[in-house]
């Protein structure tokens, strides 16, 4: 990683898509290593550059990374803001990986704010993204799966399955709209 950073500095490349991608990669590596302060710094810089470049896919994943950092630090409201922005960027950039990671984050936020039944519907709706889920960081998938198990236990298998099945036929646009609306409703109930 240091070599790629050095190369970009040598080429005087601080404002390109490649530099933005490198910042994102460094943030992801720090996140995976549990170095949340370093991850946040890399993601913040990637976010600023991604906004300047209008790099929607990178912005979507960067927002998800910032959401993960916020969740790890117990800042659930900040996480909700990051995930919500990330879903929108992923949708605007037509980037399934960014959409699904942020939807999963929004589900985790909603669960922590008491919206278990609504989140069960969103869990079912996110089935549209099964192919992209395999590319998510293992820790993010593990946290999401643990939250799903908690919702299933709280609602019971039958209610959980019914809620999931009711939403599995949604389009991606409907999933995105539902994620944003549910998150907004959960946030309003807790502000």
Q: Please give the backbone phi and psi of residue 96, each rounded to the nearest 5 degrees, phi first.
A: -60, -40
Residue with tokens 């069960």: 120
State how far the Cα of 72 lies from the Cα of 21, in Å rounded to an integer: 23
CA distances from 160 to 37, 111, 145 (A): 36, 13, 14
Q: Which domain covers residue 107, as residue numbers?
A: 2-189
Question: Measured between alpha carbons, how far is 88 from 85 in angstroms, rounded to an integer?
Answer: 5
Q: How many domains does the chain have?
A: 1
Digits of tens for pLDDT over the chain (191 positions)? 455 555 444 545 567 888 899 999 999 999 999 999 999 999 999 999 999 999 999 999 999 999 999 999 999 989 999 999 999 999 999 998 899 899 889 888 888 877 777 777 777 767 666 666 677 777 787 888 888 888 888 888 888 888 777 666 677 788 888 888 877 776 676 66
CATH code, domain carrying 18? 1.25.40
């Amino acid at each position: 990683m240091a070599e790629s950073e050095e190369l970009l500095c040598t080429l005087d490349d601080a404002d390109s898509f490649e530099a933005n991608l490198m910042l994102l990669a460094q943030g992801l590596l720090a996140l995976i290593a549990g170095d949340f302060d370093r991850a946040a710094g890399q993601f913040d810089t990637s976010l600023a550059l991604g906004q300047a470049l209008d790099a929607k896919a990178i912005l979507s994943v960067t927002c998800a990374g910032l959401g993960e950092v916020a969740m790890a630090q117990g800042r659930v409201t900040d996480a909700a803001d990051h995930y919500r922005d990330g879903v929108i960027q992923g949708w605007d950039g037509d980037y399934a990986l960014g959409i699904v990671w942020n939807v999963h984050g929004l589900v985790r936020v909603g669960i922590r704010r008491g919206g278990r039944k609504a989140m069960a519907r969103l869990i079912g709706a996110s089935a549209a993204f099964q192919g992209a889920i395999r590319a998510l960081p293992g820790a993010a998938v593990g946290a999401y799966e643990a939250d799903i198990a908690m919702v299933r236990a709280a609602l019971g298998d039958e209610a959980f399955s019914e809620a999931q099945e009711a939403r599995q036929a949604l389009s991606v646009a409907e999933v995105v709209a539902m994620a944003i609306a549910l998150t907004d409703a959960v946030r309003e109930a807790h502000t």
